Structure 1
Amino acid sequence: MAVTDGTVSWIGEDRPGRALHPDAEIVDLGGAFVAPAFVDTHVHTTATGLALIGLDLGAAESLTACLDRVRRYAAEHPDTVVWGQNWDETTWPEQRPPTTAELEEAAPGRAVYLTRIDAHSAVCSEALRRAAGVPAESDTPVVADAHHAVRRAARALLTADDRHRARVAALDLAASRGVAAVHECAGPDISGLADLGELLTVEHGVEVRAYWGEAVTTADDARDLLAATGAHALGGDLFVDGSIGSHTAWLHDPYSDATTSGLAYLDPDAIAAHLAACTTADIQAGFHVIGDAATGAVVEAIERVATDLGGPAVAGRGHRLEHLEMVTAEQAAVLGARGVIASVQPVFDAYWGGEHGMYATRLGAERARALNPLSLLASSGVSLALGSDSPVTPLDPWAGVRAAVHHRTAGSAISPRAAFAAATRGAWRAGGVRDGVAGTLVAGAPASYAVWDVDELVVSAPKDSVQRWSTDPRSRVPALPRLDDDARAPRCLRTVHRGVTVFGS
């Protein structure tokens, strides 16, 4: 492969390549695997970095272990907010989150903010509750507006250096995982305008495309908001509802383990107004949507706007839905016909799917089996793009590809070819790049690629193979590494974006 001015200029055999480019700098990769670089379509950059440099509770195996980590972190960092992430009470023997009193015992008088793994609820100390104006005596995790208030109060306690180190750590991690670009899903209640502005000034080789999750009602409002925020689109985590783990996803029927049907943050009228405004202003829009009632509200709104403005106008904007975990065949057909892109997180299924996982606990086994139907979406013409929602799940694109291929529900998986394409070509398309070559390695494509150390490439697979790795050259997908349970994960040796090396081991 030859690269000229950040673009792939030639692909072919070594010998003629050297003859055609006698003065080129030659890098011998020693048989390593080269493939298009990944794009992660759903990332919270600062939060990801805070988990890397701060208190990550994802490995805590019990409530006691979680509190021990809080106690130790508070002792080692006496002058800062105790910001922790990724606890999951459904994996603990105690089956409950920490109480306010337990946090007070672990870190007396300190501002403690510990967000659940889905980032839609949190536990926090009395001091932080008081600072946020939230009842201090409650032991219930904060959700919705109370959670937003607590997060704002905790964020205000972070120093500029804390935030900068976190962002650089997150982007460095992305580069080391073969990721050339991330889509930052920001918003007024998620990370705030100041955080987004600071992120967009960070000089780093990993490209950042910014989504701002705030609803508008007119095209002028959409244009003004885009200009004011510096974002590239008005979508991402524009919440229609919350999450299943925190009982805040909006459902038609109540949760199996609670008396609630979740929360609705936007109704069909507000969704339609935002879609119409962005469509008219030629701006990509999108929403965070998880529960079946939330999906129904979005589909209703899309059809309304398509009726008013025309189907081609809606389809031409490439509007996005994040997560889209509960969707019927009829709804998928509408989304496919309207050119909607689904930014999905396959590792959600790997974490919480299955007959005895968190989804089954929250929704019952029957509803849980229907979650994250990747094959249904793809077969309905919905363009897929893979993301991590980091720090909710790790910023690890191969893990996402593998989870999409090994879905826990029979019939919901997609092929390795489709999964890899959704993490590369489909992800560029989800970010508005529709040149037909981004995410591939052909002459004329951006030279954005990664070099991998892998155990074995599956060049051709028997027809009865479970893997069914595609080698059809028309797919523009290279031979792929084995991602079976017994296969070593690919190790990134180098990441290059538009001809510039952004990571090299």
Structure 2
Amino acid sequence: MSTQLLVGGRIYSPFAPDATAMAVTDGVVAWVGEDRPGLALHQGAEVVDLDGAFVTPAFVDTHVHTTATGLALIGLDLTDTRSLADCLQAVSEYAAREPGALVWGQNWDESAWPEGRAPTTSELDDAAPGRAIYLSRIDAHSAACSTVLRRASGDDVVGADPELPLIAEAHHAARTTALELLSPAGRQRARIAALDHAAAHGVAAVHECAGPDISGRTDMAELLALEHGVEVRGYWGEAVTTADGARDLLAATGAHALGGDLFVDGSIGSHTAWLNQPYADHEGCGRSYLDVDAIAAHVSACTQAKIQAGFHVIGDAATDAVVEAFGRVVAELGGPAVASRGHRLEHIEMVTEEQAAKLSSWGVIVSVQPVFDAYWGGESGLYSARLGRDRALALNPLAMMASAGVSLAIGSDSPVTPLEPWRGVRAAMSHRTPGSAISPRAAFSAATRGAWRAGGVRDGLAGTLVPGAPASYAVWEAGELVVSAPSDTVQRWSTDPRSRVPALPRLDADTPDPTCLQTVHRGSTVFRA
């Protein structure tokens, strides 16, 4: 057995909130406490001086699209474009310096542009003549495409328009075609870039949310075969109807569970979230991809096959369908059988207190993306434009769900929002709607311990730094450590350090994120600054 003793730091541990040292033996946390006892107890250990650094459990990102994240990191990321003209210029410049069959770009957001509209097919054809161009909107539920790509993927499917961005089935077809135009080497380079980026931000594991309309089986197989220090748990978003069908699909894809982005509906930004009432700025109530019968069949099949299931859920009509479907399965198989699988929902931005209570009683876990609110929430954000103020301010009610007993996990939906976990913690504790924020401590737990639980690890140890826990941790350069609670809620515990609550870095709006110095997963270093 080999032991490493970390001393001279600040350790985030409920076991010893004032700890300055931690011993790790063969990839497991063996001891947590103060320097002098640690040195006395572990005299043969390799001693590592932390020099005041802050050590926390490593993060887990519960909603990632790995290859797409890498493509944004090394390719055409349109997040910072400030106008339609700026976007088209970026496309033209990228096409000029990157010869090849495909221009793959991501993360444009017309709601922030003065023109207030997306690129048209003709404009993309002019920006890069003769090139196949795929530009996904920031929510990845619609895409502007050139004529070359449209012809290759077909123009007679639902959601197609000769000039406007593609949605629904037309978008799925275009994305599939675009993915096929990427070279295997290019996909691999993108995945490595994404996982390296995750490790450099204190992330030890990611949940890949794949599916036939997102990335395809080839991409999933290549990702799961990639050897990298960051752990990947694969979710495959395709519905089944029988337990045997669930087992067969799991085996065929190599996935760990059948959920993630199994779409019940689309997104608010692309007007494809399934609503009970029409959009405020658009005709209709969005789209549904699965009805109650299909949702219930999938949950029942996965429960009987002892496989975790899940769905992508955004709008209130989609939430209604999911809750009704789960209720049917609970009536069929019993609450304990359903709860034993830890089924999960992604996003679920529109949910009532009654629905949250039901989901909690059925053991359903919710993977939330708090940066959605930071990007698009508030009285004058995109959600207000799409839905109207009153509906918008009710979105992403984190505190309400937590109060109802729903187990929360925090993810990024990268590349929709950055794979930078402190951003998610900040956004959760700084919700734009008063009363919807959760405490820094609760947010941090949702991004660590809660995230491991969302991935099926329920040993009570993963995501913590206590004796017996896996040694998956991150070392940070951080400033002052504080014990705080949301400013807009009743404080549920003392903020006095003597309360024995472990402290976190100050995460006020004017303070920088902690800087990752090292990421370790089960005792092995996966990143060192």
TM > 0.5 between the two?
A: yes
Taking the aligned partners of 1:466 and 1:58, their CA distance within structure 2 comes to: 36
Would you say 1:83 and 2:79 are equivalent positions? no
The one-character-per-residue Cα deviations of 1:190-214 (angstroms, maximum 9, x if unpaired) are 0000000000011110000000000
The CA deviation at 1:133 is 1.1
TM normalised by structure 1 equals 0.97
Counterpart position of 2:386:
362
> Pick from 162, 172, 179: which aligns with 2:196?
172
CA 1:417–1:279 in structure 2 vs 1: closer, same or farther (change >3 Å)? Answer: same
The one-character-per-residue Cα deviations of 1:327-365 (angstroms, maximum 9, x if unpaired) are 011111111111110000000000000001000000000
Secondary structure, in 3 states, of the residue corresponding to 2:46?
Answer: coil
Taking the aligned partners of 1:84 and 1:67, their CA distance within structure 2 comes to: 11
Alignment of 1:237-248 (within 5 A): 237-248=261-272
8 A contact 1:415–1:469 mirrored in 2: no
Alignment of 1:365-444 (within 5 A): 365-444=389-468
CA 1:174–1:476 in structure 2 vs 1: closer, same or farther (change >3 Å)? Answer: farther
The CA deviation at 1:446 is 0.3
- One-letter code aligned to 2:186: D
TM normalised by structure 2 equals 0.93
The CA deviation at 1:80 is 3.7
Percent identical across equivalent pairs? 74
Alignment of 1:219-234 (within 5 A): 219-234=243-258
Taking the aligned partners of 1:459 and 1:293, their CA distance within structure 2 comes to: 39
The CA deviation at 1:469 is 8.6
Would you say 1:56 and 2:77 are equivalent positions? yes
The CA deviation at 1:134 is 1.8
Secondary structure, in 3 states, of the residue corresponding to 2:414?
Answer: coil
8 A contact 2:69–2:194 mirrored in 1: yes
Counterpart position of 1:18:
39
The CA deviation at 1:150 is 0.5
The CA deviation at 1:471 is 6.5
The CA deviation at 1:254 is 0.5
CA 1:463–1:318 in structure 2 vs 1: closer, same or farther (change >3 Å)? Answer: closer
CA 1:329–1:140 in structure 2 vs 1: closer, same or farther (change >3 Å)? Answer: same
Would you say 1:32 and 2:53 are equivalent positions? yes
Q: Alignment RMSD, CA only? A: 1.9
Secondary structure, in 3 states, of the residue corresponding to 2:235?
Answer: strand
8 A contact 1:420–1:477 mirrored in 2: no
The CA deviation at 1:478 is 3.2
Taking the aligned partners of 1:123 and 1:29, their CA distance within structure 2 comes to: 49
Counterpart position of 1:133:
154
8 A contact 1:183–1:211 mirrored in 2: yes
Deviates more, 1:398-407 or 1:459-468: 459-468
The CA deviation at 1:462 is 12
Deviates more, 1:312-321 or 1:457-466: 457-466
> Pick from 492, 510, 513: which aligns with 1:489?
513
- One-letter code aligned to 2:131: R
Counterpart position of 2:87:
66
Deviates more, 1:73-82 or 1:260-269: 73-82
Taking the aligned partners of 1:353 and 1:294, their CA distance within structure 2 comes to: 20
> Pick from 121, 124, 127: which aligns with 2:142?
121
CA 1:465–1:413 in structure 2 vs 1: closer, same or farther (change >3 Å)? Answer: closer
Counterpart position of 2:113:
92
Would you say 1:446 and 2:467 are equivalent positions? no
> Pick from 268, 278, 289: which aligns with 1:265?
289
Secondary structure, in 3 states, of the residue corresponding to 1:200?
Answer: helix
The one-character-per-residue Cα deviations of 1:431-479 (angstroms, maximum 9, x if unpaired) are 0000001000000000000011112111578999999897699999731
Taking the aligned partners of 1:466 and 1:177, their CA distance within structure 2 comes to: 31
8 A contact 2:110–2:116 mirrored in 1: yes
Counterpart position of 1:343:
367
Q: Which runs of 5+ in 2 are unaligned?
A: 1-21
The one-character-per-residue Cα deviations of 1:141-172 (angstroms, maximum 9, x if unpaired) are 10111001101111111011100000000000
Taking the aligned partners of 1:26 and 1:8, their CA distance within structure 2 comes to: 15
Counterpart position of 2:9:
none
- One-letter code aligned to 1:303: G
Taking the aligned partners of 2:496 and 2:289, their CA distance within structure 1 comes to: 45
The CA deviation at 1:417 is 1.0
Would you say 1:250 and 2:304 are equivalent positions? no
Q: Which runs of 5+ in 1 are unaligned?
A: none
> Pick from 355, 358, 370: which aligns with 1:334?
358
Length, aligned pairs only? 505
Taking the aligned partners of 1:496 and 1:368, their CA distance within structure 2 comes to: 39
